[in-house]
Amino acid sequence: MEFVESLALVFVAGFITALATGLGALPFFFFDEISDRGNVVLWGLSSGIMVSASVFGLIDEGLAEGTPLQLLVGMAVGVLLVVVARDVLMDADIDPREYEEADFKKLVLILGILTVHSFPEGIAVGVSFADLGLEDGVAFLGVTVPLLAIFMTVAISIHNVPEGTAISIPLKAMGVSKWRMVWWAVFSSLPQPIGAVIAFAFVRIARELLPYGFGFAAGAMIYLVLTEFVPEALEIGERLPSGGKPELVVGIVLGVLVMVPLAFI
């Protein structure tokens, strides 16, 4: 398979994960709102999926490709990049309510912040395609797609659905139309196909860096779960009994249960 064709396939996989974010807005076609309890469970679900994908997919594969030290170095760099990127953006926190009324400069800032949030997920998809056409997997369009690539694409797609719901909640409150909520949800994940292509090209050209690539994606995603997803869930759950912790745990367990069977297919 030609390199350009491989890049196109990886871009499509990343774009599928971005489109999945739009599915998170679909509940608002049928319901007026989602309760705090349900929202906390969704954040927990997303957290469980991300951590499971990192552990059972990226870290496991990274250890198979390289040494624990290489993996740890990659994870440290992934965490460092997220921290530095936040500092560069002055730790700005953009509320989805601002999407609709943003001017061009504001949209550039928003896209930059979304890149910090969703770029690592795109990288996870990209590095998972490193063995595209090179090993046993699933035949697709005349090329062998690694099982890890399918696992990561499915994992990130499922994770993006509740993330799209979380983005849509404030947009719903400000009266944004349903289809525009779908668009803004997809917009929030547009850095993912870009990150996927960059990561794939990088590890295919510099194959010896693949273990670092797996660690990078895993470290960045786990860090985001611990510093953003879980705190966000607990903030939403403050008004619930026990601070929403039981709902968060339920969501995390559900996320893990969803991903564990996929990891062993």
Average pLDDT, the chain: 85
In angstroms, what CA-CA distances link 265 with 55, 76, 147, 262? 16, 30, 8, 5
Identify the residue with better confidence: 170 or 67. 67
174 to each of 42, 118, 169, how far by Cα in Å? Answer: 21, 24, 9
Determine the pLDDT at residue 133. 67
Answer whether residue 94 shows pLDDT above 70.
Answer: no
| Overall average pLDDT of the 127-145 stretch | 76
By three-state DSSP, how is residue 111 classified?
helix
Mean pLDDT, residues 106-122 taken together: 74
**Which residues 6+ apart lie within 8 Å of 108 measured at CB?**
none
- Residue with the larger pLDDT of the pair 95 and 122: 122
Nearest 10 degrees: CA dihedral of 140, 141, 142, 144? Answer: -30
pTM, full prediction: 0.84
Q: What is the pLDDT of residue 228?
A: 84
Which residues, including other chains, have CB under 8 Å from residue 189's CB and lie 6 or more apart?
A: 17, 18, 20, 21, 114, 118, 121, 160, 163, 164
